[in-house]
Chain A
Amino acid sequence: MRTAFVVGVLLGLAGVLAAARFAPWVDPVRLPSHTTVVSNGGRAETFVIRLPADRIAAAGGAEAGLRADAPGTVFSAPGSAAVLVEQFKVRDRDGQVIGIAARHWAPADGAVWLLVVPGRGTMLLTGDAEPARALDTALSAAGRRAGTPWSGELRVVFPRAPSVGRVHGGTHEFEGLEGTYTETWTITGVGESGELRGTIELGTVVSRRT
């Protein structure tokens, strides 16, 4: 009986310690990545954001226009310098949510993306900033009057040519990569309260840094 007790204690102790050391406590869900090979040996991948469903929060001032003005989780930006912060869920080209993204914009400094895909890593992207209220200006040119709803199709690409957005690697699967990206905003409508409807496509082309 004593032997059985001692054996039980040792087995219980060893089991818990082994689980603490070797059990896969973190095993993130990882969906297959949709990449295609491009002619120079790099790989292309497009990340999609659907508006307004994937927009989580924003912070900005008047210079940010509609993008900081839509209903929902919106805050004022700090300080007097113009800045716009937007946070989104990110999908793959099949429409599955695969990650989270944050975009920070300041007219003098540029636009910066932090793209986090749990199970794959983090990608860092920077590009020249579009002018303040660029989307509002494009919508006005497409016939929308300020303060009113609108529907149609408007496509705007950032950074604006000839400038090119840059991929600066990241972590895990994206570490050591470099390349370019484009940010295509396809706006199909503006709601009564100013919310944007459409998609943002982040098209990346990357290769291993030599």
Chain B
Amino acid sequence: MMRFLTLIVGLLVGAAAGAALIFVNPLIGPADGKPDDLDRVLTYELPASALMLTHSRPLSVPAWPDGVEELWERTVRTSALGLVMLSSPAGEPAIASRVLVPSRRTELMTTGVVVDDFWLLTLPGKGSLYVLGESNVWPIAKDTLVSASLLQRPFQGPRSYVTTAGPAPDGRALVVGATGDFANREGRAVERYRIGKFTRERGFGDVSAELRFALDPPSDPDGGV
């Protein structure tokens, strides 16, 4: 009996050690996407720029506005949908629909907490494009939801995070042009967040983000001849 109880205690100690190893896991580092050579920039702030956010799970980021239809059905209840206003450095507006869906790539040893991150972005007067990405939110979750909420350690902010982790081989998101100036063009994109504050009581505060992207030059309709 004593031996059995000792085994149970050992199991619990081992499990705690495993959880601690996962928390400090060096195999899951910052996302791979490099943003600096992507010349187009759109920025937004949260929550000011988010016209609408809906999902079905209680998070540190609530759904808004009040009364918005929630994603409660079992096929969509782990997804999130947002409507976001962005602007360029020159003040040109853009509007985006954004859908987040948990990715099967999620695992906590080598990859992280990955979400499929899909944007439909319209720049009025210029056209629309898609951004098809994978975002690794584990670094943000570790510093906020785990450290601050669970372990009650103060958030060491402000901090910047690049979340884009593919699916392109260089770790960036894919850009697929749809209409207007962007039709038939492709490119790459990376998103970077700056989180100013996080507390267990109030959640996220002073959050800003930039979506940087670049498009391949338009192909010559005459074939260059």
Contact = CB atoms under 8 A, between A and B. Distances in A.
Interface in B38-75: 51-52, 54, 65, 67-69, 71, 73-75
Given A106-B122, A112-B128, A8 B178 contact: no
B22 interface: yes
Best-buried of B85, B108, B128 by chain A (most CB within 10 Å): B128
Nearest to A98: B75
Interface residues of B, number: 68
Contact of A106 (B14, B83, B102, B128): B128
A138 interface: no
A56 B95 contact: no
B89 to A, nearest CB: 15
Interface in A56-113: 56-57, 59, 72-73, 75, 77-83, 85, 87, 89, 96-100, 102, 104, 106, 108-110, 112
A55 to B, nearest CB: 8
A98 B126 CA distance: 32
A50 interface: no
The DSSP consensus for interface residues of chain B is mixed
B124 A57 contact: no
Interface residues of A, number: 66
Interface string B69-100: 10101111011010101000000111101010
Given A81-B124, A85-B97, A110-B180, A5 B51 contact: no
B104 interface: yes
B104 to A, nearest CB: 5
Given A57-B51, A106-B180, A171-B116, A79 B108 contact: no
Given A17-B21, A122-B132, A77 B97 contact: no
Interface stretch (B5-13, B152-160, B204-212): B5-13
B130 A73 contact: no
A11 B14 contact: yes
B124 A77 contact: yes
A144 interface: no
B127 interface: yes
Contacts of B93: 78-79
B130 A97 contact: no
Contact of B15 (A15, A87, A124): A15
B7 A114 contact: no
Nearest to A10: B14
Given A4-B3, A26-B106, A87 B97 contact: yes
A26 B75 contact: no
A28 interface: yes
Contacts of B99: 100, 102, 114, 116, 122
A6 interface: yes
Given A25-B106, A104-B120, A73 B11 contact: no
A133 to B, nearest CB: 17
Contacts of A22: 107
A26 B8 contact: no
B198 interface: no
Contacts of A24: 104
A43 B68 CA distance: 35
A29 interface: yes
Given A20-B109, A100-B79, A79 B178 contact: no
A37 interface: no
A85 B21 CA distance: 45
26 contacts: A4-B3, A4-B7, A5-B13, A8-B8, A9-B11, A12-B10, A12-B15, A15-B15, A20-B22, A26-B78, A56-B81, A57-B83, A59-B51, A59-B95, A73-B69, A75-B51, A77-B95, A77-B124, A78-B93, A83-B95, A89-B69, A97-B76, A104-B122, A109-B127, A114-B97, A171-B167
Given A85-B95, A87-B83, A122-B99, 8 more contacts: A5-B13, A16-B14, A20-B108, A24-B104, A25-B107, A26-B78, A56-B52, A114-B119
